[in-house]
Amino acid sequence: MIENKKKVVAVGMSGGVDSTMAAFLLRKEGFEVIGLTMSIWDDSINIKGSKSGCFGPNEWEDLDSARRAAQKLDIRHYVIDLRKPYQETVIEYFRQEYLKGKTPNPCVVCNARIKFGMFLEKALSCGIVFDSFATGHYARVEYDSLNKIYLLKRGIDEIKDQSYFLYRLSQDQLGRILFPLGRFRKDEVKAMAKEAGFDEILKRPESQDFFECDDYGVLLKTTDKPGNILDMNGKVIGEHRGIAHYTVGQRKMLNLSGLKEPFYVLTIDAGRNEITAGPKKDLFQDSLIAERLHWIVPFHSIQKRKLQAQIRYRSKPAECLLCPAEEQTVKVKFISPQEAITPGQSIVFFEGDTVLGGGIIQRVLKKSEN
């Protein structure tokens, strides 16, 4: 049970089962609930959506689903136009990182700056008044009265836990957030939705991707520039179609023949427009530098402890040690080598089920640098 200290809660409603049930639970617990839905799709981008995603031309279906869910819940519902700030903040970040040969995580930026930032600011500026904001994320927030900070915790459903995407939230943001689903498992939420008569929403596909199209080229606004694929010795072994189509660990589209074993993308050098490829064993590394750091728990209190880190959303937490590096970065040393450490992705640090903070992977350290 969420303590009902703040009466009016705005719920970010995407039209899916999770956000709908977040609103349902809060209303059931006595809160006055308002539904808010972001409109972010730019109609000037000419594509056809081929899969379920957060950003794409099928947004109208999400808006309509959210509207109908709010109507069924008997709550007010508003659509907030965030097309311009989303383009300027999330899409431009995504574009710039990809053109540097990195693999960005736009959801992390969207959560910190748009969904839990400009979205609420715009709603308030439109005269929509509320005390707290809730979403359907599988995560939890607890207040640490001893240290006087809000803590971000994993959701109890280990498979659906989404705390990885939320590590950049500030204390101010964490202090006004409710995550009603953090204490439930996904199957429990689905059963709840079925019992409440939301069968139609249960049939909708979940948004598993950022973009509804597999071709990022329309977002990058650049012409493909082919370049060399090298082996670990610097020998040219093939040609790539443009670095924006590749990420570390990728095997597809290398089109390398005559090799004794499969090759994978090991590194991407945007300046030289080159990709280095090699066998899978060379994907495993044990050290990296992380930049653009954000800490929920103060760094000085954790830097000498053995922690766990995730180098991508679906990776298993791995034990590591942290130490400060130059220019406000940290060096991360894993106890066991990790597969396909990818510059541009977020690395998030945990201690048990508590999110400590995280940063962006700047680069992998060579063995000579350890």
- The residue segments making up the domain with residue 182 are 8-211
Number of Cβ within 10 Å of residue 203's Cβ equals 8
Co-location of 94 and 20 in the same domain: yes
In this structure, are 71 and 125 located in the same domain? yes
Do 14 and 64 form a contact (C-beta atoms < 8 A)?
Answer: no
Strand (E) or helix (H) holding 331? strand 329-339
User: 158 and 13: one domain?
Assistant: yes
- Does residue 54 have an active-site annotation? no
Domain boundary among 278, 300, 324: 278
Within 10 Å of residue 335's Cβ, how many Cβ atoms? 12
Is residue 322 within 8 Å of 349, Cβ to Cβ? yes
| Residues 289 and 345 reside in one and the same domain | yes
CATH number at residue 360: 2.40.30.10
Same domain, 334 and 243: no
In a domain, 84, yes or no: yes
Q: At residue 176, what is the residue type?
A: R
Which one of 54, 110, 126, 323 is the catalytic residue? 110
Q: What's the structural domain count of the chain? A: 3
Residues in CB range of 267: below 8 A, 6 or more apart? 248, 275, 276, 364
Residue 370 lies in a domain: no
Dmax over CA atoms of the chain, in Å, equals 67
| 237 and 297 assigned to the same domain | no
Domain end call among 155, 176, 211: 211
Amino acid, res. 339:
E
* Known catalytic membership, residue 213: yes
**Measured distance CA(69)–CA(63) in Å, rounded:** 10
Q: Are residues 186 and 102 in the same domain?
A: yes
Of 58, 1, 7, 8, the C-alpha closest to 36 is 8
Neighbours of 11 (CB within 10 A): 32
CATH number of residue 20's parent domain: 3.40.50.620
Same domain, 143 and 236: no
Is 329 domain-assigned? yes
Lookup result for tokens 């937490």: 317
How big is the chain by its Cα radius of gyration, in Å?
Answer: 22
Write the single-letter amino acid at 359. Answer: G
Q: Where are the beta strands (DSSP E) in the chain?
A: 8-12, 32-39, 53-55, 76-81, 132-134, 139-144, 149-154, 177-178, 209-211, 227-230, 236-240, 264-269, 274-278, 284-295, 307-310, 318-325, 329-339, 346-351, 354-364
Tell me: do 155 and 169 sit in the same domain: yes
**pLDDT for res 345:** 97
Q: Which SS3 state, helix, strand or coil, does residue 279 take?
A: coil
What pLDDT, on a 0 to 100 scale, did the predictor assign at position 292?
Answer: 97
Going residue by residue through the chain, which has 370 residues, state the pLDDT in tens, using 9 for 90 and above: 555 555 899 999 999 999 999 999 999 999 999 999 999 998 877 777 667 778 888 899 999 999 999 999 999 999 999 999 999 999 999 999 988 999 999 999 999 999 999 999 999 999 999 999 999 999 999 999 999 999 999 999 999 999 999 999 999 999 999 999 999 999 999 999 999 999 999 988 877 677 777 777 778 777 789 999 999 999 999 999 998 889 999 999 899 988 899 999 999 999 999 999 999 999 999 999 999 999 999 998 888 789 999 999 999 999 999 998 888 999 999 999 999 999 999 999 999 999 999 999 999 998 767 6
Q: How far apart are CA 308 and CA 306, in angstroms?
A: 7
Rounded to whole angstroms, the Cα distance separating 230 from 289 reads 24
| Residue 177 · residue 153 · CB < 8 Å | no
Q: Are residues 138 and 266 in the same domain?
A: no
Q: Map residue 326 onto helix, strand or coil.
A: coil
The answer to whether residue 352 sits within a structural domain is yes
Q: Do 318 and 235 belong together in one domain?
A: no
DSSP bridge partners of 76: 34
Residues 113, 246: one domain?
no
Neighbours of 128 (CB within 10 A): 16
Tell me, yes or no, whether 76 lies in a domain.
yes
> d(Cα 108, Cα 326) in Å, to the nearest integer?
24
Q: Are 8 and 34 in contact (CB under 8 A)?
A: yes
Q: Quote the tokens at residue 19.
A: 């956000």
Q: Which of 54, 107, 126, 213 is catalytic?
A: 213
- Token code pair at residue 7: 């009466």
Count the residues in the chain.
370
Residue 218 lies in a domain: no
Q: Quote the CA–CA distance of 31 and 36 in Å, as a whole number.
A: 15
Q: Residue 33's pLDDT is what?
A: 98
Domain boundary among 231, 250, 278: 278
What CATH number is given to the structural domain containing 235? 2.30.30.280
Give a yes or no: residue 3 inside a domain: no
pLDDT at position 2, please? 53
Gap between the Cα atoms of 347 and 64, Å rounded: 35
Q: What is the pLDDT of residue 110?
A: 96
Of 294, 360, 274, 311, the residue nearest 97 (C-alpha)? 360
Residue 216 falls inside a structural domain: no
What pLDDT is stored for residue 49 in this prediction?
A: 64
